[in-house]
Amino acid sequence: MEAGGLEWLLVPMQRLVSWGAAGAMVFGGVVPYVPQYRDIRRTQNAEGFSTYVCLVLLVANILRILFWFGRRFESPLLWQSIIMIITMLLMLKLCTEVRVSNELNIKRRSFAAADSKDEEIKAPPKRSYLDFDLNYFWHWSKFTDYVQCVLTFTGVTGYITYLWLDSSLFVETLGFLAVFTEAMLGVPQLYRNYQNRSTEGMSVKMVLMWTSGDTFKTIYFIFNQAPFQFSICGLLQVFVDIAILLQVYLYSYYPQKPVSHTAHPASTKAL
């Protein structure tokens, strides 16, 4: 009778824990960007945040969704990708608006050909339909350009996935690329901090939440027997997070002379 009573209590508790873990997986990845988003809105300065972080997460989560069509993994991981894509687009929108409002008298850059009605461009653009100037890739002046780029990438990779969906090698490779790309999430921020010789403008809370979230995520992958690619790349992601936290300590207690940007004005722009 006592065992039956315990079982009656344990089953709902296990379900509650399971739902809690699933909810943490879906929304936990978004939480680190809340303090960074608020900091950018408050200071109207996006220089400390690398928008290439958004690029990495957009690519990783688009590939992960495509991987789901070839190998059905748990639904919380799929929903996590959808929520993360929406979040990264919101971050990009804010960063683009803030950056453009702070930059005066600069030539506008776009993913597609320039609009002939652009006040700053009186002559037709000399480049072709797409702007392949790597110095300005992912540093466009309008949010719609980022959306066009994301849609183009999704369309091309989606079509390739549709053609090769029956190939297990392709599907497994796609899964590895998805999680490996996400594992490289902190690298743009790591490099930006190294360039600036400072972590000023970067939300330390965001990185701490990255570290705790990635640790939880990796444990979740291991215990729920997610595809092996997820666990390996989760560990790699934790190591990158720790490296960024070491930069915070290093540049706070041992300040370094900032690199001069006089000769390279383009390098002062946010990545």
Q: Do 157 and 193 belong together in one domain?
A: no
Top pLDDT among 1 and 230 is at: 230
Q: Do 149 and 192 belong together in one domain?
A: no
Tell me, what CATH number does 241's domain have? Answer: 1.20.1280
Whole-number pLDDT of residue 7: 65
Q: Do 160 and 217 belong together in one domain?
A: no
Residue 91 lies in domain: 10-107+136-167
Query: Is residue 3 included in any domain, yes or no?
Result: no
Length of the chain: 271
Q: How far apart are CA 243 and CA 162, in angstroms?
A: 38
Above 50 in pLDDT, residue 84? yes
CB 224 within 8 A of CB 204: no
Q: How far apart are CA 51 and CA 55, in angstroms?
A: 7
Above 60 in pLDDT, residue 71? yes
User: Is the full-model pTM beyond 0.75?
Assistant: no
Show the DSSP H helices in the chain as ranges.
2-28, 33-43, 52-70, 75-102, 143-164, 168-183, 187-196, 204-223, 228-253
Q: Of 16-30, 49-63, 109-123, 191-205, which gets the smallest average pLDDT? A: 109-123
Q: Do 155 and 27 belong together in one domain?
A: yes
Q: Do 79 and 161 belong together in one domain?
A: yes
Above 60 in pLDDT, residue 200? yes
Mean pLDDT within 201-224:
81
Q: How far apart are CA 106 and CA 94, in angstroms?
A: 19
Tens of pLDDT, residue by residue over 121-172, are 444 444 433 445 667 788 888 899 999 999 999 999 999 999 999 999 999 8
Q: How far apart are CA 106 and CA 257, in angstroms?
A: 28
Tens of pLDDT, residue by residue over 39-68, are 899 988 888 788 888 998 999 999 999 999
Query: Is residue 147 included in any domain, yes or no?
Result: yes
The tally of domains found in the chain comes to: 2
Judge residue 155's burial from the number of C-beta atoms within 10 Å of its C-beta, 0-12 exposed, 13-18 middle, 19 or more buried. exposed
Query: Mind giving me the DSSP string for 56-80?
Result: HHHHHHHHHHHHHHHS---HHHHHH
Mean pLDDT within 228-239:
83
Q: How far apart are CA 206 and CA 185, in angstroms?
A: 13
Q: Do 140 and 206 belong together in one domain?
A: no
Mean pLDDT within 84-103:
90
Mean pLDDT within 226-245:
84
Query: Is residue 264 included in any domain, yes or no?
Result: no
Query: Is residue 117 included in any domain, yes or no?
Result: no
Whole-number pLDDT of residue 229: 75
Q: Do 202 and 159 belong together in one domain?
A: no
Which residue is associated with the tokens 């690619």?
Answer: 229
Tens of pLDDT, residue by residue over 94-127, are 999 998 888 765 556 666 654 444 444 444 444 4
Above 90 in pLDDT, residue 205? no
Above 60 in pLDDT, residue 235? yes
Query: Is residue 128 included in any domain, yes or no?
Result: no
Query: Is residue 30 included in any domain, yes or no?
Result: yes
Q: Do 157 and 205 belong together in one domain?
A: no
Q: Do 159 and 68 belong together in one domain?
A: yes
Query: Is residue 194 included in any domain, yes or no?
Result: yes
CB 38 within 8 A of CB 149: no
Query: Is residue 267 included in any domain, yes or no?
Result: no
Q: Do 151 and 238 belong together in one domain?
A: no
Closest CA to 80 of 69, 91, 90, 88: 88
Q: Do 158 and 246 belong together in one domain?
A: no
* Planar angle of CA 119, 125, 131, nearest 5 degrees: 110
Q: How far apart are CA 11 and CA 92, in angstroms?
A: 43
Q: Do 192 and 58 belong together in one domain?
A: no
Tens of pLDDT, residue by residue over 241-269, are 899 999 988 888 777 655 444 333 333 33
